Structures are given as C-alpha cells and as structure tokens.
Amino acid sequence: MNGNKKTLLEVKNLETSFSTWEGMVHAVNGVSFKLSEGETLGIVGESGCGKSVTVLSLLRLIQSPPGKIVNGTAFFNGKDLMKMTEKELNEVRGSQISLIFQDPMTFFNPVLTIGEQVMEPLKLHLGVSEADAQARAIEILNMVGISNPEERLKDYPYQFSGGMRQRAMIAMALICSPQILIADEPTTALDVTVQAQIVDLVKKLRDELGMSIIWITHDLGIVAGLVDRVAVMYAGYIVETADVMELYKNPRHPYTIGLLGSLPRLDETERRKLASIDGIPPVLFRSASTCPFAPRCPYRIDRCFNENPMLRNVGDGHEIACWVDVVNHKEQV
Amino acid sequence: MKNGEVLLDVKELVQYFPIRRGVLQKVVGYVHAVDGISFDIKRGETLGLVGESGCGKTTTGRSILQLYKPTSGQVIFDGMNLVELNGKKMREERKKIQMIFQDPYASLNPRMTVEEIVGEPLKIHKIVENSEIRNKVKELLELVRLNPAYIDRYPHEFSGGQRQRIGVARALALNPELIVCDEPISALDVSVQAQIVNMLEELQSEMNLTYLFIAHDLSVVKHISDRVAVMYLGVIMEMTSRDELYSNPLHPYTIALLSAVPIPDPEKEINRKRIILEGDVPSPVDPPSGCRFRTRCPLAQEICAKERPEFREVKPGHFVACHLVREITPGVFRAEI
C-alpha cells in the first residue's frame, strides 16, 4: 500500500534481554521491520510477547540493568537510534517520535496541571515561549476533542475522565508534530464506546497530520480497521507480517490462524466451538534453537524442534516464520 | 425441576452504597450501583449480563449471592427469597449458587495448596468425610482438565488459565445449580480465553449448570449466552434472546455499543460506519434524571429527562427501557455488524 513511499524507520535484528534472578529473559529476539511515511503498522501479540519491549527499545527506554539491548540497528531518517548520544536521542524522543501508553492515569504527574504537561515537550524541544506554547496547547486540545481548552488547561489530571486523559495524552504526544506516533495499547483500559472515540480520533488526526503510527495491541479486532500492515509477535519474534487485508484473508502462520480462530466474533451467525490453542505462551528463558510455537502447534513437524524458522517471503510482502505450508499441510523448503 | 423453568427471579433489585465523609462518618450521598433491575434466568440457560465498567454488573452478581445486603428488591432462587433468609439458611442456599471471579491471581489464596483451596467448600459444608476430600478434589481437577498430580501445588506454580481452572473447580465442588461467572476470561491471554470458554460450555452441558455470565465483551457474550441483558449505569436497558439482540437491537445504547465493537475483518471494517457516542459514562453518585442514557443518547428528547422509561416488553421476550423505541426508524439509527 505504501510501497513507493519513503522508509522512515528501519529496524533490523533488534534483540533485548533482561537478566533476572531466574535467568536471562530473552524478550525480543531479532525483530526487523520497516515503517514508511504515513504508514500505520500494527504489532499484535499476547502479553509477554515482547511487543512493548520492542518499541521501548527503539527509543532506548529500557531500564538498564536489568534490561539490555543486545543487538540491532534502528535507522530513523538515516541515523541509527541505537548509536545516537543521549543528547541526540532526547531531541527525537517526544518530538519526532512520541509515545502514548495504556494507562493515562499513571502517565500524568498528578501535581502538575494538564496544561503544564501538555506544553512541556514544546518548551523543552523547540524552546517555544510560554504564550506561544499555550496557544498551541489550546489548539491541539481542541483538535483532540477537549471542549473549552482554555479552562481545562488549568485542570489537574484527576479532574479528567479516563477518555479525556487519553485525549490529553494524545495531545501531549502530538504537540511537536512528530513523524512517528507509537501507541502502546492506548485503548486497552477504556470502555468499548470510549475506545471507539479514541480510534476514531487517531484516524482523523492521522489523516490531518500525515504521521506514521505504530499501534501495539493484543486485540486483532482493533487493528483490522486501523492499520495498513500487521506484524504478529510471539515469544519475542515476529512470526508473520503482511498487508492487513492479506493477513486476515490468508493467515499462514499457525499461531495467527489459531488466534483468529479463537476469537468470538460479533458478525458470526452460526454457533461454533471456538478453536482454542492448546497450552500457554512460553517463558522466555531460553534462546531458541527450536520454533517457539512448536509445543502448541497443531501442524508441527520434527524439523520445528531442531531449527528455528526465520521470516521468509511467501509472496507480495507476506512473510512467515514457519517450516510448514499450512495451506497444503506440507513442509516448505 | 426441569430445564426451562425459572431458577432465579430478580425483582426490582436496588443496591445503593452510602458515601460517608468527615469525622462522624455522616452519609453524604449514595452510589446508585444497581437501581431497580428485574430479570430471570431459566434452569440450564446462560444469561449474559453485559455493560461497560461501573454499570453495576458485578454488583448485581454479588447482590444475588447476598454478599451485599440489597437496599430493596427480591432475589428469588428456586422459589425462595434470598433477601429474607437468615445467615444459617442463606449458607445452605449458597451451596447452590457459586461464583467464578475475574482475577485468578487475586481470588486464590497464595498460601493454600490446590487441595486446600478446592477442598475448603467441601470441608465447610461437610459434604464428604475428611478422608475423602483428597479424592474428591482430584475428581474435580480432572473435571476442569487439570492434572490431578498438581494437587499439592500452590497457585503461583500455575499459569493464568490454569488458575482460572482451579477457581472453576472450587465453584463446582458443591455441585451448584447456578454459577455467577464474573468476567471469567478478561484477565487471561487471548489464546487461553477460548480454552476457558469452551470448558465452561462443556461443563454446562455435562452438569446441567445455569450461568449468569457477566462480561464487558459483547463478542464473548454473544458466543456463550442464550439471552442477553444490557446494563448501563445501574439499569437494564434491554434484554432479549441473543439472536434478537444482535440482529435487532432496539435500545439506542445497545445499538451504539454494538456499533463500537471492532470486528476482526478489515474488509468489513473499512466501510463500517460507527455510531460514536460522546463523552463518558456519568457518575453513579448523581445519575442523570429520567433515562440514565439520555446525556449521551444522540436521539434524546425532552421526555427522556423527565420520566424514567419503563422496562417493558415491546415484542414477546424482548424488553426495552426507552421512550423512543417506536420512533427509532430501523435503517437510520442502526449498528453495522
């Protein structure tokens, strides 16, 4: 869809691990992806699959110790985020690449007003004067649908409802007009009607401002109507990536197939037994020389326990990490 | 009693919680958690109770078990009004009504083994001899597809899905008739949710259980329920069979709610028009006058602020609390699914 557009971010072989008392946790194991200008990428996976750690690693927001970015490059506008000095990186964080999070309550400082916090990136990064920052804050709060922003600027976070706080967080993330917005499960804590408001708002802002978005979620429903490409993560690996239409129509990795089959759907008319995936997500203590999904996979073959499959192209930008051609149920070379 | 007969009949249930302030703990107001709801559940069926956070669905479940003393109303279980029972009699009845909780981490005592957790209700109600408890617990573990060899383990040794199975085993220990499932899968990983849903369905047909299934996820509720009640701010807005609710919703809130649920299909989503409600759910401390939904209802009129709409049967088995039901033109205000 965005094949001809300029690549804005290129991540290669990103690897992050955490040392714990029980051993080394390999959270992200060589993740690679590209993000084009104006593109929205969805990273989908269950809790603990490494999706948040992936994007936090991009901005080097992993606390070290215990965390460590072991390997990888992430070129953003021709510069490697992994090699930047802390000062250079601070120019990028919150200004050219900004983040929104799941929990808008813990995100804001409770003793500062919403206005002070929304304006902060502008003053910090661009050295804008108080008066100009305030004018811009009012403009952006208006844009995210907060009515009467002149007054609401003076409010404290506790005076905002959950949905309003999420809007204010988006305003704060967008105030410096970033090129990339990273959204880490921003609607998970919200009710479904408020979630619809926020998704609607982000789509509108994307069209107006033209930024690229990385949207992280566990919900295959939300990304269906929101993103251009999807990357499905499992155990710290991207196991499948494709254009959004292709992924839902022709899922090829057994995990993606399993996830889609296990979802109860609103548009279903027939009653059916949900296709559940056996077992539980793995603990990530080992560095895998086997396919991490093999123990739960209904299509596994011997090879899955001997070699970990790398992502490979199966046509038209559709990549899977699997030894088996699930459609024909035979081994692929 | 046969399937299809009314097992639980809730009438005009009201549950307020006082708000106390100051040194003297003076009551300064009430949280109107549940405000006059009526529904019944027939033996062997699953009633889905769905709504957003704070709508009173969990409180409803707890009030049915008399874990809170209802402010007013009746909870008639198997012909007996639970609200009027004394502690001893209630304890007898509670054997027949069990609960599965949302958080499998918080609902199991970390210092107790599986045997102690699942065996506790057997011990308290003296269902089997103490020497028999271990065997009975093993049976129960098999019932919920857990390896009986795990009987001496502690909760922290299990995954979320397995813990939820332990919670189900505990609920089944007393051979209950009704199980209140309070968001039993929302704390679980997506790939594990289906395992638990499938198990609950299998257990229902094996043991002829009746479920009150409380959830916020309309897709899951559609999957598991026979009938569905939609709650908003302490009031049931609409209640009917699952097929009718999802194909022919009549209350503007139900319509908006269905419209907001994403469908995992980009081809459908791309052209899907959403009804976007404005604002958040108001506080249950000072709920809106008249219809609770009127502050966010795109169709609200004057009457909605003045009178509380009656919860009435507009079609056989289809109950709606809305003044405007007959005026909503189908096709104009509808949920695209």
Q: How large is the ipTM?
A: 0.84
pLDDT at B135: 94
Asked if residue A65 has a cis previous peptide bond (ω within 30° of 0), the answer is yes
State yes or no: pLDDT of A1 exceeds 50.
no
Identify which has the larger pLDDT, B332 or A166.
A166
Q: Say yes or no to pLDDT of A203 above 50.
A: yes
CA distance A291 to B99: 39
Give dist(CA B13, CA B76) in Å, integer: 11
pLDDT tens-digit readout, B111-164:
999 999 999 999 999 888 999 999 999 999 999 999 999 999 999 989 888 999
Question: Which residues, numbered 254 to 293 in chain B, qualify as contacts with chain A under a Cβ-Cβ cut-off of 8 Å?
Answer: 256-270, 272, 274, 276-281
Lowest mean pLDDT among A270-274, B133-137, B290-294: A270-274
Average pLDDT of every residue of chain A: 89
Q: Indicate whether A30 pLDDT > 80.
A: yes
Q: Which residues of chain B make contact with A196, given a CB cutoff of 8 A?
A: 259-260, 274, 276-277
Distance between CA atoms of residues A70 and A287, nearest Å: 13
Give the A:B interface size as CB pairs under 8 Å.
Answer: 141
Q: What is the pLDDT of residue A163?
A: 83
Judge contact between A183 and A216, C-beta under 8 A.
yes
Contacts with A266 from chain B: Cβ below 8 Å: 218-219, 222, 246, 258, 261, 263, 337
Contact residues, chain A, for B217 at CB < 8 Å: 264
Average pLDDT over residues A198-219: 92
Please tell me the distance from the alpha carbon of residue B141 to that of residue B175, in angstroms, as a whole number. Answer: 14
pTM, to two decimals: 0.89
Residue of A nearest to B187 (CA): A47
What chain A holds in terms of domains, given with CATH numbers, is 7-96+178-264+275-285 (3.40.50.300), 110-176 (no CATH)
Q: How confident is the model at residue B227 (pLDDT cuts 50, 70, 90)?
A: very high
Instruction: Decide if pLDDT at A331 tops 90.
Output: no
Chain A touched by B190 (CB under 8 Å): yes
Cβ separation A276–B194 shorter than 8 A: yes
What pLDDT band is residue A287 in, cutting at 50, 70 and 90? low
Q: How many CB atoms lie within 10 A of CB B286?
A: 11
Q: B170-189 burial, b if ≥16 CB within 10 A, otherwise e? A: bbbbbebbbbbbbbbbebbb
**Of the options 3.40.50.300, 3.30.1490.190, 3.40.640.10, 3.90.550.10, the CATH number for the domain spanning B6-96+176-327:** 3.40.50.300
pLDDT band at A269 (very low <50, low <70, confident <90, very high): confident
Nearest residue of B to residue A193, measured between CA atoms: B260
**Contacts with A200 from chain B: Cβ below 8 Å:** 274, 276
CB atoms within 10 A of CB B300: 18
Cis peptide before A66 (omega within 30 of 0): yes
Token pair 């120019």 is found at: A91
Contact B261 A192 (CB under 8 A): yes
One DSSP character per residue, B35-78 reads EEEEEEEETT-EEEEE--TTSSHHHHHHHHTTSS--SEEEEEET
Does B325 have pLDDT greater than 90? no
The pLDDT of residue B333 is above 80: no
Average pLDDT over residues A15-42: 92
All structural domains of chain B with their residue ranges: 6-96+176-327
Query: What is the per-residue pLDDT for A329?
Result: 67
Count CA atoms within 13 Å of residue A90 on its CB side.
8
Q: B222 — contact with chain A (CB < 8 Å)?
A: yes
pLDDT in tens, B228-244: 999 999 999 999 999 99
- pLDDT greater at residue A219 or residue A162: A219
CB-CB under 8 Å, A46 with B189: yes
DSSP string, A221-287: HHHHTT-SEEEEEETTEEEEEEEHHHHHHS--SHHHHHHHHH---TT--S-----PPPS-PPP--SP
Q: What is the pLDDT of residues A124-133, one digit of tens each?
A: 888 888 899 9
* Alpha-helix residue ranges (DSSP H) falling in chain A: 51-58, 86-92, 104-107, 114-126, 130-143, 149-152, 162-174, 192-209, 220-224, 244-249, 254-262
